[in-house]
Amino acid sequence: MNTKKSNSQAIGKYIRVSTHKSRRVLQQIKGKNYNEARLILEFMPYRVCKTIIKILESAFSNISQQTNYNINKKELIIKEAFANKGPILKRFQPRAQGRAFPIQKPTCHITIKLETI
């Protein structure tokens, strides 16, 4: 195998979920290897898990594109996984007596960085 460490990252932008909810899931997979993280995400009951799996697969495909040899998924570690705040979609909900109630729909940017052992 190649002794040089390879790095890759994938970023999912403008994901319609709050940063608080996505960070709760990302904390669970940080520092785990690829297979273990994928298994954890498969069985977690949160909506954001499907999106995080897609970003994780994108990071894996990025690292396999960079290197010319097949990478063992057991040798990949999630070095960083974090969610930054994105723009807030501001909407209004009609209420009684002609009033308007503001609704804020948060978005986030999820970044996952992989590294070979």
pLDDT digits (tens, 9 = 90+) for 56-80: 999 999 998 887 667 888 889 999 9
What is the reported pTM? 0.89
pLDDT of the residue at 108: 97
CB 113 within 8 A of CB 63: no
Confidence of residue 3 (pLDDT cuts 50, 70, 90): low
Q: What is the mean pLDDT of the chain?
A: 93
Enumerate residues 6+ apart whose C-beta is below 8 A from 87: 14, 107
Q: What's the rounded Cα separation, in Å, for the pair 104 and 93?
A: 10
Q: What's the rounded Cα separation, in Å, for the pair 59 and 57?
A: 5
Instruction: Examine the pLDDT at 98 and tell me if it is beyond 90.
Output: yes
Pick the CATH number of 7-116 from 1.10.10.10, 3.90.470.10, 3.40.50.150, 2.40.70.10: 3.90.470.10
H or E stretch at 92: strand 89-94
